[in-house]
Amino acid sequence: MENRKYINIGMLICISVLTILSACNSSNQDKTETASSYVLPDSLLHSIQIDTVTDVPYSSAITLNGRIDFDEDHVIRIYPMVSGIANNIHAALGDYVQQGETLATISSSDMSGYSNDFETASNNLIIAKRNKDAVNSMYKSGLSSAQDSLNATVQYNQAKANLEKAKRILENNGGGTNGDFYVKSPMTGFIVEKNITNGTAIRPDNNTTLFTISNLNQVWVMADVYESNIPYVKLGDSVNITTLSYPGKVFRGKIDKIMNVLDPESRVMKVRIVLSNPGFLLKPQMFASVVVNYSENKSMLSVPTQSLIFDNSQYYVLVYKSPSDISICPVQINGTKGDRTYISSGVALGDKVIATQALLIYQALND
């Protein structure tokens, strides 16, 4: 009697398990059965886009921290060339200046000396010319020798050379003839650094710049590459750059230089991207996010990103064979690039997938 009781209980447990398994199988087959009974209306068929599962080279991306910097190939730093006192500053930080424009005036005893040398050389040339003309005239009249004429010509040429030298020194030091040194811009661009004010004492042995000029038509983006990311960064890789100032704008460029050394403190390697800067939107010292797109030596299936449906923590696509044969297929995604998403499982090469209005059709299949 006791054995029969245990047998009956065991049979009840088996029947219960079979019932539960049957219910689960029925639940898993619901979508397939619904899909087989659904027919896509002609009106919807003509308005949707159907794409193909393709095999494409696999590429991925890494994000680097970066900073906008000057294009050092188009930057000029102005250092003091004479000693003196700054008495008139004509330009401010951020000003746009033209080549040759005066930026500051410095009262300088050095310039007074250069100016005096120039005036002395000018007077000496006048005297030497008069002497040469007089000796040549006397030589023609037989009142002086050929040697006297030659000596006068040599003295004149020497005086002329001395004047050219004094003039060149004066011009190289601002060209002022009243004891003032004029700091002039050597290029057209923005003043991006300024270290001079009225009353500043200037010394030529000071290595601090007076002004730094950059045209900002191009800027550099310097990005930090950590050791673990070095294998994925190569010369010529395309990058997308965003900044906090312009969150909706993407600046595109390519890596044009890899520094190949690590900073001993930060343990990062620098890479450089050169960007054109129309409208001067990018400012030096701005922080930037640099997304580097790189390719791997493999391919992977891909579908249009808009064909994906996310439901109950799972991605699906709708595989289309005919208006009455549409399957809901769970897929595993492996990254997105542009308007395509890589698929690691769930579809086959050449499958047709519904690329537009997929969610609407998915809901109809599940009703």
H, E, C per residue of 251-311: EEEEEEEEEEEECCCCCEEEEEEEEECHHHCCCCCCEEEEEEEEEEEEEEEEEEHHHCEEE
In the chain, the domains with their CATH numbers are: 31-58+298-366 (2.40.420.20), 62-72+217-296 (2.40.30.170), 76-214 (2.40.50.100)
Sorting pLDDT into bands at 50, 70 and 90, what band is 329? very high
Please give the share of the chain, as a percent, with pLDDT higher than 70: 88
Instruction: Name the packing angle between helices 109-140 and 146-172 (round to 10°).
Output: 160
Helix (H) or strand (E) holding 343: strand 340-345
pLDDT at 118: 84
Averaged pLDDT score across all residues of the chain = 85
pLDDT at 149: 84
- Determine the average pLDDT of the residues in 177-194: 87
Task: Give CA 310 to chain center in angstroms.
Answer: 35
- Determine the average pLDDT of the residues in 336-355: 91
pLDDT at 67 over 90: yes
| Alpha-carbon distances, residue 231 vs 33, 172, 235, 269 (angstroms) | 49, 50, 11, 12
pTM above 0.85, yes or no: no
At 238 the three-state DSSP class reads strand
Q: How far apart are the first and last CA of the chain?
A: 51
Q: pLDDT higher for 338 or 145?
A: 145
Residues 6+ apart with CB under 8 A from 348: 53, 301
pLDDT at 115: 76
Q: pLDDT higher for 102 or 13?
A: 102
Q: What angle do CA 340, 344, 34 make, to 5 degrees?
A: 85
pLDDT at 175: 65
CB 87 within 8 A of CB 105: yes
The closest of 251, 252, 255, 253 to 233, measured between CA atoms, is: 255
- Determine the average pLDDT of the residues in 311-315: 93
pLDDT at 334 over 70: yes
pLDDT at 174: 63
- Determine the average pLDDT of the residues in 65-69: 96
pLDDT tens, 83-98?
889 988 999 999 999 9
Please give the share of the chain, as a percent, with pLDDT higher than 90: 52
CB 341 within 8 A of CB 51: no
Sorting pLDDT into bands at 50, 70 and 90, what band is 113? confident
pLDDT at 78: 93
The closest of 258, 264, 326, 252 to 290, measured between CA atoms, is: 252
Pair of tokens at residue 50? 């159907």
pLDDT tens, 244-263?
999 889 999 999 999 999 99
Sorting pLDDT into bands at 50, 70 and 90, what band is 211? very high
CB 345 within 8 A of CB 333: no
- Determine the average pLDDT of the residues in 198-217: 89
pLDDT at 251: 96
pLDDT at 2: 44
pLDDT tens, 16-66?
434 433 433 433 344 443 445 788 898 888 899 999 999 988 877 889 999
pLDDT at 273: 97
- Determine the average pLDDT of the residues in 335-359: 91
pLDDT at 7: 40
- Determine the average pLDDT of the residues in 108-134: 84
